[in-house]
Amino acid sequence: MSQSLINTEVKPFKASAFHNGAFIDVSDADIKGKWNVFFFYPADFTFVCPTELGDLADYYEQMQAIGVEVYSVSTDTHFTHKAWHDSSETIGKITYPMIGDPTGAITRNFGVMIEEVGLAERGTFVIDPEGKIQIIEINAGGIGRDASELLRKIKAAQYVAAHPGEVCPAKWKEGEATLAPSLDLVGKI
């Protein structure tokens, strides 16, 4: 990425997705007013990807409980997502929308397209209710992500959004002490 996407608004998009046994349309209008995760991955029917998507499926109910929608995105089609969902036990447990981005438009908008192969990087984006990106994580292809850590980060982002003037220190967990940045704290942490 040439510039950070933090605090930038998600660009308009329209796409087809596979969700709960049906094909649905998804657009930027669907993400407004709630927290969202866009979880980009290289391709269906691969190796690290199903482990990540399965892990995310295991945490989906907890994310829904705190008002977060999850969208997985690859440059495969929504038809391929259905075929993968129907043929893999791991992917079969997914109940969040699986967006197909065969033109790569959404993947490019988020800056995670690997142009020479037409696939997405392992990019995770947490988007606030105003449609602005608050968290970005991009991993190399061979490094899988951890949904429990993603959930922790989302809770921290939600806390900071709801408590102006407070910040969450490293390894912060829900219910733990936060910090109120001030001149008095400089050099004392």
Instruction: Write out pLDDT tens, residues 70-79.
Output: 999 999 999 9
Mean pLDDT of 148-167: 97
Mean pLDDT of 107-120: 97
Q: How far is CA 161 from the centre of its chain?
A: 18
Is residue 1 scored above 50 in pLDDT?
no
How many angstroms separate the first and last alpha carbons of the chain? 32
Task: Give the residue, 91 or 181, on which the prediction is more confident.
Answer: 91
Give 180's contacts (C-beta < 8 A, 6+ positions apart).
165, 166, 167
Mean pLDDT of 66-72: 98
Mean pLDDT of 118-136: 98
Q: Where residue 2 falls among pLDDT bands split at 50, 70, 90?
A: low
| Tokens matching residue 112 | 């995670």
Decide if 168 is catalytic.
no
Candidates 49, 126, 133, 151; catalytic one: 49
| Tokens matching residue 139 | 């991993």
